Structure 1
Amino acid sequence: MEWLGSRVLRTLWTPTVNIVRSRYHADKTRLVRRYGYNEKLWCGGLLPRSEGKPLPLPEYRPANMWTERKGLFGQNDYIDILGPGNIHPVKTLYTVPSWIRGVSGQEYHILLRKKKMWAKSGTPTQRPTKWKEMQKRISYLYRKLNRKTKTGPSPD
């Protein structure tokens, strides 16, 4: 140290600081969460077999290919070509709901048709939740279609 009058001039000395950095993320010490929790599910891969014999397989039973459902599958596919011509192929869709039969359109148009048919049958009072969900979907699709549809003055 040097004396300069009433002040003491100290030499500049800084301590060496060792910053400990991890080279890889995996080397960092991690906080142990859920200490003491024992996992009850096995997550270590395949289970070892204690006995040498494999598990028993169920007895093979072939499916009956001539059940009514499988035997009559596709019976009406060519009714318009091979039949007398007085029945439309849409009329042969027996298992399809009535509002979907023969419709070619977007979801919005199908839902409008369904709404019209359900209103006649009294569904709004019998199944109010389904009716409300359908109304919500129709209003959403209506807004979406109006946003995507170009409107404005005609080019004429």
Structure 2
Amino acid sequence: MEWLGSTILRTLWRPTINAMRTKHQYHAEKPRIVRRYGYEEKIWSGGLLPRGPGHRLPIPEYRPANVWTERKALFGQNDYIDILGPGTIHPVKTLYTIPSWIRGVSGHEYHILLRKKKMFARTGTPKIRPTKWKELEKRLSFLYRKLNRKTKTGMSPN
């Protein structure tokens, strides 16, 4: 009886073959992608020493810094001009390298930009540099709105 069952199974039953799509391949069967083709690594990754065999590292020639350059020698010369000087000159007048709209201003960014806009409005800046002028006005309007929304103004009477 066993042989009858096995022969019937052999003749009638056929194993089903699942066709695998090429999209879902096994990892080992996937084609390798060449990445960074033609790229040469410029960082040394060959071991502990940062140089190849037979090549010495270039050592720069020692040049001591000049301590008496004008910038270093005159650093801080006007720090105590109001205390030690005759008192005729204001310390703000000694800030030679700062732009004129920043000189002597004590305030936030909004106040400095307002002063800058006021000083440059009568010059040719709005027509010569319209993009810079537009950015200045845009920043001013942003800061104006921010100050009006976020600044506390005191207690309301209610």
**Common fold, TM-score beyond 0.5?**
yes
Structure 1 residues 34 and 84: alpha-carbon distance in aligned structure 2, compared to 1, 3 A threshold = farther
- How much does 1:47 deviate? 4.1
- How much does 1:63 deviate? 1.7
Q: In structure 2, give the amino acid aligned to 1:37.
A: R
> By percentage of residues, which structure has more helix?
2
SS state at 2:147 partner: helix
Unpaired runs of 5+ in structure 1? 1-28
Q: 2-side partners of 1:147 and 1:34: how far apart?
A: 59
In the TM superposition, structure 1's runs of 4+ consecutive aligned residues that sit over 4 Å from their partners are: none
Q: Aligned to 2:100, which of 98, 101, 114? A: 98
- How much does 1:102 deviate? 1.0
Superposed CA deviations along residues 4-39 of structure 1, whole A, max 9, x for unmatched, are: xxxxxxxxxxxxxxxxxxxxxxxxx6xx89812236
Superposed CA deviations along residues 81-136 of structure 1, whole A, max 9, x for unmatched, are: 11000111111000001111111111011100000001122211121111111011
Alignment RMSD, CA only?
A: 2.9
Structure 1 residues 108 and 51: alpha-carbon distance in aligned structure 2, compared to 1, 3 A threshold = same
Q: Which residue number in structure 1 is paired with residue 41 of structure 2?
A: 42
Q: 2-side partners of 1:105 and 1:96: how far apart?
A: 16
Q: Which residue number in structure 2 is paired with residue 109 of structure 1?
A: 111
State the aligned residue count. 127
- How much does 1:80 deviate? 0.6
TM-score (normalised: structure 2): 0.68
Q: Pairwise mapping of residues 110-129 of structure 1 onto structure 2 (< 5 A)?
A: 110-129=112-131
